[in-house]
Amino acid sequence: MISRRVGSLVCLFVVTAFIWITARNGKVHYLPYYLPCPESICNDSMKLQYIEEKLIQLFPQLFYQQPGVLAPKRQDVLTVTPWLAPIIWEGIFNSEILDSAYRPLNLTIGVTAFAIGKYTRFVGHFLESAEKLFLKGYWVNYIFTDSPEAIPNVWLQSGRFIIVPVKKYPSWQEISMLRMEAINKHIAETSYQEVDYLFCLNIDIVFYNAWGSETLGDTVVAIHPAYFNVPQSLFPERSSSSAAYIPDEEGDFCRGGAMFGGLIKKVYEFTKICHMTILMDKANGIMAAWQEESNLNRHFHKPSTVLSPEYLWDARKQKPPEIHLIGFSTVDKNYSEI
């Protein structure tokens, strides 16, 4: 009996002290549940009190047009894959909402591009357009080149670029093989400590419109502009002897080799597999139709984010009505000069 009274007095003291402290230090509210204590003391009128606290908001308060479940923004194109990954087209996303989620994470976005031989002439336009339009904020660009002295000194405000020397190779096939090996090695030695996401881009491209946070994902690919509206039977890699072979009944979208990316860990894993399969083909005297692009299609399984051809266009092609806005495009060039 004495222990029960002592327990009741202790409970009453705790409740009284808690109420007094909260009343002194902030606005008092009532909760719809009760502090557990003996029935002889607590009743329905005694409610737990607490100080008003500011809630942590993952998204700031934004005002935007309410989406309609039965009114999709794009009805002319596929906007989700069979494995429920988004296909990013202009008009289906709200950049302000996405930026409000990604900006507080303080991410660092890396870019790799290879300026080999006479392709150093494209570095200036590439970096200048990326500075204005590619994931505006802090990013770091790794320029792999066999001619460091030929790289122009481009001043960047929001980003920076680092020259990564590589040795010279006589053919584009060897360069293609070098690309996957060099990226994989650089991730293991350096960039895994510096960036959260890594995009691997061709150097002979120019950004025309903004690439925003809608392009981020664990694994990211872009649909090839030459094959986005043709059947799978016309996709380029159909040599059954290659490690990059994709049977007619397999595959989904033809990915373009000029762009792939994602979390640094995922890019590391892919470039390692891709390099090993290229070496396997080489040992067997085989060359895939488009080297790393063929392997990208074979081994970059079910990406988490698929970019529409708007993000990987070809300036030499006429723009169809499905293409509303061009993210970046290959540069029209004279191949006899490079």
Catalytic residues: 293
Q: What span, in angstroms and rounded, lies between the C-alpha atoms of 309 and 203?
A: 18
Instruction: Name the residue type at position 46.
Output: M
* Helices and strands (H and E) in the chain: how many: 6, 13
| 170 contacts: CB under 8 Å, gap ≥ 6 | none
Rg (the chain; Cα; Å): 28
Cβ(47)–Cβ(268) below 8 Å = no
Number of residues that make up the chain? 338
Crossing angle (nearest 10°) for helices 292-299 and 264-283:
120
3-state secondary structure of 78: coil
Q: What span, in angstroms and rounded, lies between the C-alpha atoms of 128 and 157?
A: 10
| 332 contacts: CB under 8 Å, gap ≥ 6 | 315, 316
Q: What span, in angstroms and rounded, lies between the C-alpha atoms of 186 and 164?
A: 9
Q: What span, in angstroms and rounded, lies between the C-alpha atoms of 132 and 157?
A: 10
Q: What span, in angstroms and rounded, lies between the C-alpha atoms of 113 and 121?
A: 13
314-333 exposure pattern, b = at least 16 Cβ within 10 A, e = fewer: bbeeebeeebeebbbbbbee
Instruction: Name the residue type at position 141.
Output: N
CA max distance for the chain? 101
H-helix segments, 109-156? 123-133
Q: What span, in angstroms and rounded, lies between the C-alpha atoms of 254 and 270?
A: 17
C-beta atoms surrounding 38 within 10 Å: 13
